[in-house]
């Protein structure tokens, strides 16, 4: 038996991790790109994306924990 909340939370965590890695990579590359280069990075947008990704990951972690607690409580009731 699979609980939809658990799989949704895991999928959300995976998406948040991907976005977090992308934003972190953008910020890291900003330090090595020359100011005159054509490759410029909007640090404010990358930082906002980084924070959004972190918050999404935390929210999905909480959903996962609650779903896990609910399934344990259900198993205890069922016996």
**pLDDT tens, residue by residue, 9-32:** 999 999 999 999 999 998 888 767
Q: Kindly state the tokens that stand for 5.
A: 């909340």
Read off the tokens for 55: 């918050």
pLDDT at res. 40: 58
Report pLDDT for 2: 66
Q: Please give the structure tokens belonging to residue 76.
A: 């205890």
* Predicted TM-score of the model (pTM): 0.76
- Cα torsion angle, 31, 34, 35, 37, sign: negative
Which residue in 69, 67, 79 sits closest to 2, CA to CA? 67
- Over residues 24-75, the pLDDT tens digits come to 998 888 767 556 655 555 788 889 999 999 999 999 999 999 999 998 998 8
Residue 79 DSSP code = -
Handedness of CA 32, 49, 15, 68 (dihedral sign): positive
């Amino acid at each position: 038996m699979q609980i939809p909340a658990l799989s949704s939370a895991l999928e959300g965590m995976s998406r948040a991790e991907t976005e977090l890695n992308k934003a972190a990579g953008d910020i890291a590359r900003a330090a090595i790109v020359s100011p005159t280069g054509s490759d410029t990075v909007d640090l404010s947008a990358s930082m906002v994306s980084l924070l959004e990704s972190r918050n999404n990951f935390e929210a999905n972690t909480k959903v996962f924990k609650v779903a896990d607690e609910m399934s344990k409580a259900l198993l205890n009731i069922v016996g």
